Amino acid sequence: MKNRRLFQRGFLAFSSVFFAFPYLLMLLCCLSTDAGIKGNMLFGSLSTEHFFSNLSNTFQNSQFICAFFNSCLVSSIASAATLLVSSLAGFGFSVIRASWSKLLLAVIVFSLFIPEVTLVIPTFQLAKNMKLLSKYITLILASLSIPFSTFLFCQNRSRFPSDLIESAKIDGASDFCIYLWIYLGTMRRICVISLTISFLSAWNAMLMPVILVQTQEMFTISIYLNSVSSIWSDDYAILMTSLSLSTIPVLLVFFLFQKRNPSDPGFLLN
């Protein structure tokens, strides 16, 4: 019994180090200088002064600011649009009782299995033919994650019992009123999860934005970091600071929409 507990503790501690080590190292790099990182003198060169100079150097880079702003804009609009469209569809699926609605749902779920890699070339060609390359609208359309979100809403249909619809109808509410005032209210938790996941996937997207954006003013943070890493490796400290800054909004959204209690079903998005 004691051995077992010891083994468990040991394993958890070991894996915590495994998972946390890169984050710690990244923070240490932000506190260091270029010379310190390159010369394996990381621990000798730590100071908060370096941190502030790295930070101000990063923020003086107008490209970084622009890319950061673009990412914020595209991810927020895309996640809001995803929430709106998929919650409408989720409501539709719980109201329509016809058998063909199952078929439509299957069509939506099947699109989850189509890999992004397959869609890259045709999306690029279509956008090029319609002269939509390097536009916000293309980036936003490419960052939507509607199939997964709709699936999430449909999977949690049971949270919205049909009795609620019946009683609202007896009170004379229209379908749209039911959606706005009752459905969104009862599915609040799912809305938050859908918003978080679509924001995360829009922010972290890499392959689609890279091919759809060709001008520097439209770079999102992923493309910016990608382009910077291939041409400019002279200051590692600043690179590390930009990397850390680029992960902050995602972690912020993730923690903000977190349930507090680990035994809650909504904890950590599952």
Partner 1 sequence: MRKNRAHCRWKLLFLLPAMLTIVATVYVPLVYAFYLSLFGGRGRKIEYVGLGNYTKLMSDDMFLSSLVNSFIFTAIIVPCILLLGCLLAYCLWNLKSSAAKRFLSILYFMPSVTSPVAYSLFFKQITYSDGIVSGILKALHVLSDESSLLNSVAGARILISAICVWSWTGFYALILRAAIDNINESAIEAAEMDGASTSKIFRKIILPNISPVLVMVCILSSCSIFELYTEVALITKGGPGISTYTMALYLYRKAFVYVSEFGYASAIGIAVFVLLILVCLVIIIQKKVYGNEK
Smallest separation (angstroms) from partner 1 to the CB of 34? 11
Return the residue of 38, 157, 159, 189 that touches partner 1, per CB under 8 A.
38
* Nearer to partner 1 among residue 59 and residue 120 (C-beta): 120
Q: What residues numbered 133-152 form the site for partner 1, per CB under 8 A?
A: 141-142, 144, 146-147, 150
* Nearer to partner 1 among residue 55 and residue 88 (C-beta): 88
* Nearer to partner 1 among residue 65 and residue 107 (C-beta): 107
Q: Does 2 bind partner 1 (CB under 8 A)?
A: no
Smallest separation (angstroms) from partner 1 to the CB of 96? 5
Q: Does 173 bind partner 1 (CB under 8 A)?
A: no
* Nearer to partner 1 among residue 59 and residue 254 (C-beta): 254
Q: Does 156 bind partner 1 (CB under 8 A)?
A: no
Return the residue of 6, 20, 24, 177 that touches partner 1, per CB under 8 A.
20
Q: What residues numbered 219-238 form the site for partner 1, per CB under 8 A?
A: 221-222, 225-226, 229, 236
DSSP secondary structure of the chain: -HHHHHHHHHHHHHHHHHHHHHHHHHHHHHTS-HHHHHTT-GGGG--HHHHHHHHHHHHH-HHHHHHHHHHHHHHHHHHHHHHHHHHHHHHHHHH---THHHHHHHHHHHGGGS-HHHHHHHHHHHHHHTT-TT-HHHHHHHH--HHHHHHHHHHTGGGS-HHHHHHHHHTT--HHHIIIIIIHHHTHHHHHHHHHHHHHHHHH--HHHHHH--SGGG--HHHHHHHHHHH--S-HHHHHHHHHHHHHHHHHHHHHT--S-TTSTTGGG-
Q: What residues numbered 44-83 form the site for partner 1, per CB under 8 A?
A: none
Return the residue of 44, 48, 99, 122 that touches partner 1, per CB under 8 A.
122
